[in-house]
Amino acid sequence: MRKKNKAAPRAKIIPIQLDAAFFYERAVRSLDRFRYDKALRYFRKAVEYEPDNPVNHCNMAGILSEMGNYEESNNILKKVLDELDPSMTECWFYMANNYANMEMYEAAEEALVQYLEEDADGQFLEEAEEMMDLLHYELDRPLKQPVVKARGRLHDHERARQLLEEGKFVEAVKLLKTIIEEQPEFLAARNNLALAYYYMGLFDQAADTVRDVLKMDAGNLHALCNLAIFRMHNGGREEALAIVGALRKMVPMQPELAFKLATTMGILGEHEAAYGHFRRLLRELSGHRDPCLLHYTAVAASNIGRLDEAARLWKEAALLDPEAGVAEYYLQHLDDLKSGRMSPPSSYHYHLPFEEQLRRWEGSGDELPERMKRDPLVRSSFFWALRHGDRRMKLQVIQAFSLVGDDEVKEALREFLRLPEEDDMLKRVAVFVLRGIGDNGPIEAVLGGERVVIEANRMPVRMPAANARWQAVIEAAMQRIKNRFDAVQQHDLLTLWAEFLQRLYPETPVIRKAEGWAAALEYLTAKMHRKGITFEEAAMRYGVSAATVCKHVRRIDEVCGIRDRMKAAHMQGEAEGD
């Protein structure tokens, strides 16, 4: 019996699945062998199978670019952006490359700017920035400056620096803290946050912030300079001097760092070192005479006894920038500087001394100049004086804030009110100013050692009880003095009325005509501040008789002893003058 032969095993046939993935794989293999023509055919087939897939189109555009067919490549890339997927922002970068290879540099610039402004991931960011340098060379002109989306935090950092330059320190702090939360190693943001704290008078927070920078980069010059200044101004002299010892040995070549070191040494009283750095900068930047740099060099020179050179530098600065008035001020006081009647300037900022600015403003009777409102150095002086000045200076600052009235000022005054160590009278003026500049919400304050909340729209005085007639007196007075009395004088009028009512309560006077009492309050307040006024003038302003004003003045004086207070203040002033 013959055995049947076993059937031969059937060969396994693997069917080829012709799809986009298949042709993509073949295209990649061809690329590996540098067979661009075959790779292009395979990518075209992949596009035929998946015409809505933008990646296949981009691959095909890439091959065309490698083969030198830049125009067709760009047509495909444009189709991807216009019809398939506008979010594929890398197409703009590819197009820019193609245009550059075609020597169409204007078009390359447009495409590259588009890429930098729209691409959030930054996949080709470094390459794009290198291409910008190339285009700058080829076009021989400044290029358009895009807002680089991939460097969003860098853009935010520039915005924060702008806020610092505008004196908007609270806004800058908020933005910088957000940047640091997302990018903890962004040292420039940390240094600027420290400066913002310093400008606001928050020295401890400024020092802590800059120490964080030095933990990450022990040789960071900006941080070393800042910490030395912060510690010198806040009881850390030994630490500051140790840093100064290291700074004396440094000679940075970059103008920006040299300027930072020079101003730091000057602020720290190292005027000889500051003078050397500033002189070097003047030589290196001889083609561009900057009045600020001339002034800084003059300040350093005056502090080391080189007053003739300081005068020469100030004269040059005055010619370059006559409107600032800074150099002119010191030239006018040159004899005082030479005789020792006036100390050399301690500030290395390019503005008039803070006290001089306040003196000129108070003497003018005008609104606070716009420059004083916006100049970040002046604003930082305001914030510093509010925290670290004497009582008189704090009062001047609070009064000046009544004419600024922006969110930064409101925040600074609210913070001031929460400090237990500050004077209650100053705080009451601060609340008065806050209300006057439109902050009508509840205000937290420490008054009389107790934490209180001054309710919305209430003034910081304690009226015995609500009474519409009493309020009418205040309204009548405020309506007439708001443009003639400063914030302190307005506050004193309000406080005088409250004191009068408190002392008499509950047997308060009958008020038949509010204007008569308002005129009496204005008269007494003017006298307290040595402003010229007569009963007749006050009476005419309020439409009442002089006899009525005189009668109410006598009554308020009987209760509050205003004339006795003024006599005591006058005697004290004479004694202090002796």
What CA–CA distance (Å, rounded) separates 544 from 377? 48
- Residue 336: the pLDDT is 85
Tell me the CATH number at 158.
1.25.40.10
What CA–CA distance (Å, rounded) separates 100 from 405? 53
- Residue 537: the pLDDT is 92
- Residue 377: the pLDDT is 61
Mean pLDDT, rounded, for 261-268:
90
Mean pLDDT, rounded, for 159-175:
84
Question: 454, 486, 506: which is the final residue of a domain?
Answer: 454
Max Cα distance, the chain (Å): 154
Look at the alpha carbons of 552, 555, 559, 565 in this order and tell me if their dihedral is positive or negative: positive
User: Does residue 326 fall inside a structural domain?
Assistant: yes
Q: How many angstroms separate the Cα of 133 from the Cα of each of 89, 92, 150?
A: 21, 17, 18
List, in order, residues 6 or more apart from 395 with CB less than 8 Å away.
Answer: 426, 429, 488
- Same domain, yes or no: 167 and 64: no
pLDDT > 80? residue 3: no
Tell me the CATH number at 512.
1.10.472.10
Domain count, the chain: 4
Lowest average pLDDT, out of 242-246, 308-312, 458-462, goes to: 458-462
Question: 454, 477, 501: which is the final residue of a domain?
Answer: 454
* Band of pLDDT at residue 6, cut at 50, 70 and 90: very low
Q: Rounded to 5 degrees, what are φ and ψ at 406?
A: -95, 180
- Same domain, yes or no: 315 and 201: yes
Q: Rounded to 5 degrees, what are φ and ψ at 29?
A: -60, -40
The percent of residues in the chain predicted with pLDDT above 70, rounded, is: 82
End-to-end, the C-alpha distance of the chain in Å comes to 148
- Same domain, yes or no: 126 and 186: no
- Residue 4: the pLDDT is 44
Tens digits of residue pLDDT in 420-478? 888 877 777 787 778 777 777 888 888 778 887 777 655 555 444 445 677 788 778 88
What CA–CA distance (Å, rounded) separates 161 from 172? 7
Mean pLDDT, rounded, for 347-356:
68
Helices of type H across 268-333: 271-284, 291-303, 307-320, 326-332
Name residue, tokens 């730091």.
264
Q: How many angstroms separate the Cα of 137 from the Cα of each of 80, 96, 115, 566?
A: 30, 15, 20, 75
- Same domain, yes or no: 201 and 292: yes
Nearest to 134 by CA among 96, 82, 79, 184: 96
Question: The domain containing residue 300 runs over which residues?
Answer: 152-339
Surface-to-core class of residue 466, CB atoms within 10 Å of its CB (0-12 exposed, 13-18 middle, 19+ buried): exposed
Mean pLDDT, rounded, for 131-136:
82
- Residue 2: the pLDDT is 43
Count of residues making up the chain? 578
* Band of pLDDT at residue 228, cut at 50, 70 and 90: very high
- Same domain, yes or no: 140 and 162: no
Lowest average pLDDT, out of 26-35, 355-364, 389-398, goes to: 355-364
More confident of the two residues 22 and 276: 276
Q: Rounded to 5 degrees, what are φ and ψ at 445?
A: -155, 155
User: Does residue 412 fall inside a structural domain?
Assistant: yes
Mean pLDDT, rounded, for 242-249:
87
What CA–CA distance (Å, rounded) separates 234 from 469? 50
DSSP state string for 172-227: HHHHHHHHHHH-TT-HHHHHHHHHHHHHTT-HHHHHHHHHHHHHH-TT-HHHHHHH
pLDDT > 70? residue 363: no
What CA–CA distance (Å, rounded) separates 8 from 6? 6
* Band of pLDDT at residue 516, cut at 50, 70 and 90: very high
pLDDT > 50? residue 502: yes
Helix (H), strand (E) at residue 360: helix 354-364
Name residue, tokens 């040292």.
187
More confident of the two residues 288 and 69: 69
* Band of pLDDT at residue 225, cut at 50, 70 and 90: very high
Surface-to-core class of residue 69, CB atoms within 10 Å of its CB (0-12 exposed, 13-18 middle, 19+ buried): middle
List, in order, residues 6 or more apart from 154 with CB less than 8 Å away.
Answer: 148
User: Does residue 511 fall inside a structural domain?
Assistant: yes
The percent of residues in the chain predicted with pLDDT above 90, rounded, is: 17
Lowest average pLDDT, out of 48-52, 336-340, 416-420, goes to: 48-52
pLDDT > 80? residue 231: yes
What CA–CA distance (Å, rounded) separates 502 from 461? 10
User: Does residue 134 fall inside a structural domain?
Assistant: yes
Lowest average pLDDT, out of 214-223, 325-334, 355-364, 460-469, goes to: 460-469
Lowest average pLDDT, out of 232-236, 338-342, 353-357, goes to: 353-357
What CA–CA distance (Å, rounded) separates 261 from 202? 22
- Same domain, yes or no: 122 and 232: no
Question: Which amino acid, 157?
Answer: H
- Residue 300: the pLDDT is 94
- Same domain, yes or no: 401 and 425: yes
- Residue 352: the pLDDT is 66
- Same domain, yes or no: 59 and 123: yes
User: Does residue 2 fall inside a structural domain?
Assistant: no
- Residue 154: the pLDDT is 64
Lowest average pLDDT, out of 230-244, 271-285, 561-575, goes to: 561-575
What CA–CA distance (Å, rounded) separates 215 from 385? 31
Calculate the average pLDDT of the chain: 79
- Same domain, yes or no: 424 and 516: no
What CA–CA distance (Å, rounded) separates 576 from 6? 130
- Same domain, yes or no: 473 and 571: yes
Q: How many angstroms separate the Cα of 145 from the Cα of each of 109, 148, 573?
A: 10, 9, 61
Tens digits of residue pLDDT in 73-116? 899 899 888 888 887 888 899 999 999 899 898 898 888 888 88
- Residue 523: the pLDDT is 93
Nearest to 397 by CA among 423, 422, 371, 379: 379
Neighbours of 390 (CB within 10 A): 9
Neighbours of 241 (CB within 10 A): 13
Lowest average pLDDT, out of 127-131, 220-224, 368-372, 533-537, goes to: 368-372
- Name the pairing type of β-strands 443-447 and 450-454: antiparallel
Tell me the CATH number at 450.
1.25.10
User: Does residue 282 fall inside a structural domain?
Assistant: yes
What CA–CA distance (Å, rounded) separates 87 from 109? 20
Question: 100, 117, 148: which is the final residue of a domain?
Answer: 148
pLDDT > 50? residue 48: yes
Q: Rounded to 5 degrees, what are φ and ψ at 52?
A: -95, 0
- Same domain, yes or no: 24 and 87: yes
SS3 453: strand
SS3 162: helix
More confident of the two residues 436 and 531: 531
pLDDT > 90? residue 409: no
User: Does residue 7 fall inside a structural domain?
Assistant: no
Question: Which amino acid, 529?
Answer: H
User: Does residue 463 fall inside a structural domain?
Assistant: no
- Same domain, yes or no: 424 and 531: no
